[in-house]
Chain A
Amino acid sequence: MATKPDTIFRALDRKAAAVTEFTMRQYRTKISTWVVLIVGFMVISLLLLFYVDGMQKDYESIDNDGDSEDWDGDGYPTGQERLYGTDPSSSDSHPGLLVPPVEPDPPEKWIDEDDFDWDSTPGSGQTISVGYDDDGDCDRDDRTDSQKDSNDNNVPCDIILEGPQEGLNDDFTVEADNFVDEDPDDAAYAKEAIHRASVLAIGKLGFVFIIGIFVPLFLATGLIRDEMSSGTMHYMLSKPIARTEVFLYRILGYLGIVWPYLAILVFISAMVTGLAGPSDSFFRFSEFGIWLSVLFAAMLATLVYGMLFCFFGVLWRYGIILAIPFAAWELGMALLSMGVPEASILKFSVIGWALTIVDSAAMLVWPDLDLFIQMGWWGGGGDGTGLFGSSIEGTAPLTYFSSKPSLGSIGPFVSMLIATSVLLVQAAVLWLIGGILFKGKEIE
């Protein structure tokens, strides 16, 4: 006899813990589980290998203004000759003839000599003046005041930055005086941009999409279906436990395997990108925030997809066939969210909401992201003439893989909260539908 009356919660807890533990142990005994988890690990490892390779590569530094060249053949690069006021087009005039004579600079010194000095970001619709002429080729004595202020803001040798218009999916506007910040450190920019693009690509496509959809596809579809077709479901269902509970606790057991697995993989990725990424210190701690959001988004994705695929398995013996067109739809939505993040059709997907979480976190962790992308597109060539105009390497992938959270201008934190709530509601609704379906299912 029971010595004291049980509350329903204690009874639930016993059943919940029993089924959850049982499900986790059952997964561990199946080879298919390990195959799926190892393949997932290999996919992420491959992406990380591409990333590490990208970080090891040397990016070409481009001399946008051509002042590393020694046009007159006197051994002094043009930039140095201009600095000392000698004639860069005459071999009879160079800083070596000055008193005291100046040793010639190596040409590399004049390749990336005028880096970005964009120290602040304008707010919406706000206009600020940034930039500094590091190499002094704007503020030269032989140039007139109007040549020094080609953007006409009465500040010589600066760059006008205008923030995007509020409410519009607008870009920054950059208007620079000639020869200001015209020769940025392309290699450093490219490395940083490719690092950020990789973190977002591995996080969004690798974890939230590939792992997020394929692991549930193979692990959750059979949660109920396999037990029904093998007849072992009778052992569980001949006990006083509601089928909706069985559905939920089986999902909990599945999450008990998948969530720690995701945590380990995300941790490995965070370590690799933190150590191999460009950084002043030995590790990029700040990006843990992004990786946490990737983990969180992938956990929610595996929850919603797990519920859905388990439900498909209950619905039909060959439920995996229903899951495939759905996965294709989600892939389309994932790609759409990268290109057109504001598309409203994304609200009818799971992945759109899950990726919003990562995008929001990227906005929080990298507040300069938009400006950074704009720098890359401007590329140091933006003197208004299109003379050097081409983007710096890494700008295009970063632009593709980063998107503004699709909820408009409500701010990243609120976007994250809304996306999380929507995903939890999706999971709850799928549990309800799946539970009701399972409850009315005849089990042979």
Chain B
Amino acid sequence: MMPDFDQSGLPETKEWVPEQAAPVILLENVSKTYGRIHALTGITLSLSGGVTGILGMNGAGKSTLFKILMGKIKPSSGQVRLFGTNPWKNPAPYARVGFVPEHEKMYDWMTAHDFISTFARLNGLTRDEAKIEADRVLDFVGLLDVAHKQIGRFSKGMRQRTKIAHALVNDPDLIILDEPLQGCDPLARTTIMNVIRELGRMGRTVIVSSHILHEIERITEQIVILHYGRLLALGNLHAIRERLDKIPHRIDIGTENPKELAKSIIEIDSVHGIFFPQGKNLSIQTHNLGSFHSDLPKAIVKSGQKVESIDNPDDDLESILGYLTGGGRM
């Protein structure tokens, strides 16, 4: 279903012609300050198509960036274009945009179907069209069987999926998701990740923010890293990862018998050192995370020990940030 823009014959209507050539999102040197606090500093970014992960710690400026894109706040300086149009004080581009806000508050008294079909009418759909559309998007996020239950009785994951369904109404070309995985149980996470990947495959431009590297990694390789309001890195997560793998890493393994396991692990070439922090734990240092991970299973099998957990505390956003900002850790 396409938005109805050809409202012809009425001169007072501001006819909005989407510029096909323009990138979906274009930010030029965008800054946002609140008094003396710099929420965003000099962001220049152009995105079109595919799934992009916006990574950053809490307060890095992810939500501020989204609010600027959604025309909720005005940038202090710089240019913002959504499909070639400035979104501030102009709701026209939002016919092609779906937004999942980070706010947890929803209209708990409504059913999911009701919520989505009511707001779908703001896209210019009739009552009947809106109901059909609500069924479609709820089916897409796998909530069709609970469509007529009150949102107030939904679990966190179901609520997030309802918000995503709301954003998918009218089949937007750009979908912005602010922390969609926050607070979700593993099953809901997987479902939401699948939905996001599917949207990417369908050729939509999807922007998803998170402060957890693993989540983004499972969704996309194209990332933007924000740090204290600045654009720290942009590009393929893999490339960043490979460089990151070359720096020392710590891996924690939980097992019944750490000493026995250590005997076979010490034979792996990439292992740099082994520590025994407490009772059932083993801490390993490696220079090459990639080759260590490929050798580890063999070593575990060889030792015949039962491994309860493998934890990679450094393989997170903080260590990437530390690496990228040149400080490093360990």
A contact residues vs B (CB 8 Å cutoff): 1-2, 5-8, 11, 14-15, 17-19, 21-22, 25-26, 29, 230-232, 234-243, 439-440, 442-444
Q: Which of B119-127, B211-219, B284-292, B313-321 forms contacts with chain A?
A: B119-127
The 23 sampled A-B contact pairs (Cβ below 8 Å) are A2-B4, A5-B7, A5-B8, A6-B124, A7-B7, A7-B9, A7-B10, A8-B13, A14-B124, A18-B118, A18-B121, A26-B107, A231-B101, A231-B105, A234-B101, A236-B119, A238-B101, A238-B167, A240-B92, A240-B94, A241-B122, A442-B73, A444-B67
Closest B residue to A9 by CB, please name it.
B10
Known contacts A8-B13, A231-B103, A444-B73; 18 additional CB pairs below 8 A are A5-B8, A6-B4, A6-B124, A7-B10, A14-B121, A18-B119, A25-B110, A26-B107, A230-B105, A234-B70, A234-B103, A237-B71, A239-B91, A240-B92, A242-B91, A442-B72, A443-B73, A444-B72
Q: B124 contacts A240, CB within 8 Å?
A: yes
- Given known A7-B7, A232-B107, A442-B74, contact A240–B89 (CB-CB < 8 A): no
- Given known A240-B95, A241-B91, A440-B89, contact A235–B119 (CB-CB < 8 A): yes
Which A residues lie within 8 Å of B94 (CB)?
238-240
In the assembled complex, B18 has its CB within 8 A of some CB on chain A: no
Q: A8 contacts B72, CB within 8 Å?
A: no
Which A residues lie within 8 Å of B74 (CB)?
440, 442
Q: B73 contacts A11, CB within 8 Å?
A: no
Q: How far is the CA of A21 from the CA of B117 in the complex (A)?
A: 12
Q: How far is the CA of A234 from the CA of B110 in the complex (A)?
A: 16
Q: A15 contacts B122, CB within 8 Å?
A: yes
In the assembled complex, B296 has its CB within 8 A of some CB on chain A: no
Which A residues lie within 8 Å of B6 (CB)?
5-6
Q: How far is the CA of A141 from the CA of B106 in the complex (A)?
A: 91
Q: How far is the CA of A315 from the CA of B277 in the complex (A)?
A: 58
Which A residues lie within 8 Å of B1 (CB)?
1-2
Q: How far is the CA of A25 from the CA of B117 in the complex (A)?
A: 14
Closest A residue to B172 by CB, please name it.
A238
Per-position contact with A for B117-142: 1 when CB-CB < 8 Å, else 0? 01101111110000000000000000
Nearest CB of chain A from residue B98's CB, rounded to whole Å: 7
Given B7, B97, B119, which contacts A6 in the complex, CB threshold below 8 Å? Answer: B7
Which A residues lie within 8 Å of B72 (CB)?
234, 237, 442-444
Q: A11 contacts B91, CB within 8 Å?
A: no
Q: How far is the CA of A57 from the CA of B80 in the complex (A)?
A: 74
Which A residues lie within 8 Å of B119 (CB)?
18, 235-236, 239
Which A residues lie within 8 Å of B249 (CB)?
none
How many chain B residues touch A (CB < 8 A): the figure is 44
Nearest CB of chain A from residue B19's CB, rounded to whole Å: 17
Which A residues lie within 8 Å of B95 (CB)?
240
Q: B2 contacts A2, CB within 8 Å?
A: yes
Within 8 A of A (CB), among B1-48: 1-4, 6-10, 12-13
In the assembled complex, B275 has its CB within 8 A of some CB on chain A: no
Q: How far is the CA of A238 from the CA of B71 in the complex (A)?
A: 8
Q: How far is the CA of A5 from the CA of B1 in the complex (A)?
A: 13
Q: How far is the CA of A25 from the CA of B119 in the complex (A)?
A: 13
Nearest CB of chain B from residue A280's CB, rounded to whole Å: 52
Which A residues lie within 8 Å of B121 (CB)?
14-15, 17-18
Closest A residue to B6 by CB, please name it.
A5
Q: How far is the CA of A242 from the CA of B93 in the complex (A)?
A: 11
Which A residues lie within 8 Å of B126 (CB)?
14
Nearest CB of chain A from residue B132's CB, rounded to whole Å: 14
Closest B residue to A235 by CB, please name it.
B119
Q: A1 contacts B2, CB within 8 Å?
A: yes
Which B residues lie within 8 Å of A242 (CB)?
91
Q: A238 contacts B70, CB within 8 Å?
A: yes
Q: How far is the CA of A129 from the CA of B288 in the complex (A)?
A: 118
Q: How far is the CA of A8 from the CA of B92 in the complex (A)?
A: 13
Which B residues lie within 8 Å of A232 (CB)?
103, 105-107
Q: A234 contacts B99, CB within 8 Å?
A: yes
Which B residues lie within 8 Å of A15 (CB)?
121-122, 124
Nearest CB of chain B from residue A228's CB, rounded to whole Å: 10
Closest A residue to B103 by CB, please name it.
A231
Closest A residue to B109 by CB, please name it.
A29
In the assembled complex, B204 has its CB within 8 A of some CB on chain A: no
Nearest CB of chain A from residue B12's CB, rounded to whole Å: 8
Which A residues lie within 8 Å of B123 (CB)?
239-240
Q: How far is the CA of A238 from the CA of B110 in the complex (A)?
A: 19
Q: How far is the CA of A242 from the CA of B8 in the complex (A)?
A: 19
Nearest CB of chain B from residue A200's CB, rounded to whole Å: 41
Nearest CB of chain B from residue A32's CB, rounded to whole Å: 14
Which A residues lie within 8 Å of B118 (CB)?
18, 21-22
Q: How far is the CA of A172 from the CA of B133 in the complex (A)?
A: 72
Closest A residue to B74 by CB, please name it.
A442
Which A residues lie within 8 Å of B167 (CB)?
238
In the assembled complex, B166 has its CB within 8 A of some CB on chain A: yes
Per-position contact with A for B265-297: 1 when CB-CB < 8 Å, else 0? 000000000000000000000000000000000
Q: A18 contacts B107, CB within 8 Å?
A: no
Q: How far is the CA of A2 from the CA of B5 in the complex (A)?
A: 10
Name the residue in A22, A243, A439 with the highest tally of chain B Cβ atoms < 10 Å from its Cβ: A22
Q: A230 contacts B124, CB within 8 Å?
A: no
Q: How far is the CA of A116 from the CA of B126 in the complex (A)?
A: 66
- Given known A1-B2, A18-B118, contact A238–B124 (CB-CB < 8 A): no
Q: How far is the CA of A6 from the CA of B7 in the complex (A)?
A: 5
Question: Closest 7 interchain pairs by CB?
Answer: A231-B103, A18-B121, A239-B122, A238-B99, A234-B101, A240-B95, A442-B73
Which A residues lie within 8 Å of B92 (CB)?
240
Which A residues lie within 8 Å of B125 (CB)?
14
Nearest CB of chain A from residue B141's CB, rounded to whole Å: 16
Q: How far is the CA of A265 from the CA of B215 in the complex (A)?
A: 57
Closest A residue to B71 by CB, please name it.
A237
Which B residues lie within 8 Å of A240 (CB)?
3, 91-95, 122-124
Per-position contact with A for B216-236: 1 when CB-CB < 8 Å, else 0? 000000000000000000000
